[in-house]
Structure 1
Amino acid sequence: MATLDLLLHPVRLRILRTFLDGHPATTTQLRERLPDIPHATMYRHVAALAAAGVLEVLDEKRIRGTVERRYRLSWSQAELTPADRAAMTTEDHRKTFTAFVGGLLADFDQYLTHDPADPTADGVTYQQAALWLTDAEMAELLATIREAVTTRLGQEPGSGRTRRMISLVTMPAE
């Protein structure tokens, strides 16, 4: 796993979020998706993520004397394992969750600012449920959810498909 400081940087988080659908991208494509990030800043942060192994180079091709690399997210380097989470301090968890929620807020705000935003027609949902589960039942539920999501990663755009963000938070509740 990469360090929390590497993953939680606001620009690098935005770059990583563009890869969540499982599709590779070049730095040029990332700049198109995130036009407010200056070119030099984009290249610097992509290089840092690649050096840490969070982004892996799929292929390279020469274009006008430079090398264009196509990257994809290396989930094993970007995901926090149970051991990683166990080693985190309370403050680390607070920072990580704050970054997660900040990303959700930014995504939702971006969605709402694009006309026409129609949450009902678009299937937007946000809800909570309280379940009484043993640790084993919780692990089974999370495995089921993970399988349902990961089997759909990497599907191609088109055929009436809309890119959708799926977010999940679980925690004990008193």
Structure 2
Amino acid sequence: MTTLDLLLHPVRLRILRTFLDGHPATTAQLRERLPDIPPATMYRHVGALAAAGVLEVLDEKRVRGAVERTYRVSWQHAELGPEARAAMTTEDHRRAFTAFAGGLLADFDHYLATEPADPAADGVTYQQAALWLTDAEMAELVAEVHAAVTARLGRDPGDGRSRRMISLVGMPAEA
């Protein structure tokens, strides 16, 4: 199985998205966050991600005769590197972007279904901007955004914090 196929499976993609905030989780905690995924399916896909090195085991302990593992994402195995992205076909990119956009739509729909959704008070934003940038300037912008987001990963809930999803899409546009 290729890394792209591993990562783009809908169930595995949903599992990985629960780890976006940088916090580790057990399979039981994943099941609480994704209750619509049957337990056997959850264990099978967590096992596939762990076998591929995408999830790494932080801790193991015995719970009622079974071994409970705490996982975290190994981001160097969860992200496609430049070589893998360069090897992707147009159809691979279409599949990957469709999965990304589908995840955004699902997240936004879930948010709106939560009562009381108040986009203005919750700081919801979605916008586009057209910038004239060289390749080097685009790389610099992406690095700056990555650094700003990375600096805020792993913060704990509480102190008025709400879990927020930040997404970025950059692509050439016709003039």
TM interval, shorter chain, is over 0.9
**Distance in 1 of aligned mates of 2:99 and 2:44:** 21
**Distance in 1 of aligned mates of 2:112 and 2:121:** 13
Q: What residue in structure 2 maps to residue 144 of structure 1?
A: 144
Q: Once the two structures are superposed, what CA deviation does each residue of 1:20-70 show, in whole Å capped at 9, x if it has no partner?
A: 000000000000000010000000000000000000000100111100000
SS of the residue corresponding to residue 20 of structure 1 reads coil
Q: What residue in structure 2 maps to residue 115 of structure 1?
A: 115
| 2:16 maps to amino acid | L
Cα displacement (A) at 1:82:
1.4
Q: What residue in structure 1 maps to residue 133 of structure 2?
A: 133
Unaligned runs of 5+ in 1: none
Q: What residue in structure 1 maps to residue 58 of structure 2?
A: 58
**Distance in 2 of aligned mates of 1:77 and 1:3:** 9
Aligned residues: 173
| 2:155 maps to amino acid | Q
| 8 Å contact from structure 2 (residues 26, 70) kept in 1 | yes
Q: Kindly report which structure 2 residues correspond to 1:69-80, keeping only aligned pairs within 5 A, or say none.
A: 69-80=69-80
Q: Percent identity, aligned pairs only?
A: 82
Q: Kindly report which structure 2 residues correspond to 1:147-158, keeping only aligned pairs within 5 A, or say none.
A: 147-158=147-158
Give the TM-score of the pair, scaled to structure 2. 0.98
**Distance in 2 of aligned mates of 1:31 and 1:149:** 27
Q: Kindly report which structure 2 residues correspond to 1:1-174, keeping only aligned pairs within 5 A, or say none.
A: 3-174=3-174
**Distance in 1 of aligned mates of 2:167 and 2:81:** 17
**Distance in 1 of aligned mates of 2:8 and 2:85:** 14
**Distance in 1 of aligned mates of 2:30 and 2:163:** 16
Moved over 3 A (4+): none
**Distance in 2 of aligned mates of 1:80 and 1:4:** 8
Cα displacement (A) at 1:158:
0.3
Higher relative contact order (CA 8 A, sep 6+): 1
| 8 Å contact from structure 2 (residues 27, 46) kept in 1 | yes
| 2:100 maps to amino acid | F
Cα displacement (A) at 1:3:
1.2
**Distance in 1 of aligned mates of 2:121 and 2:93:** 35
Give the TM-score of the pair, scaled to structure 1. 0.98
| 2:94 maps to amino acid | R
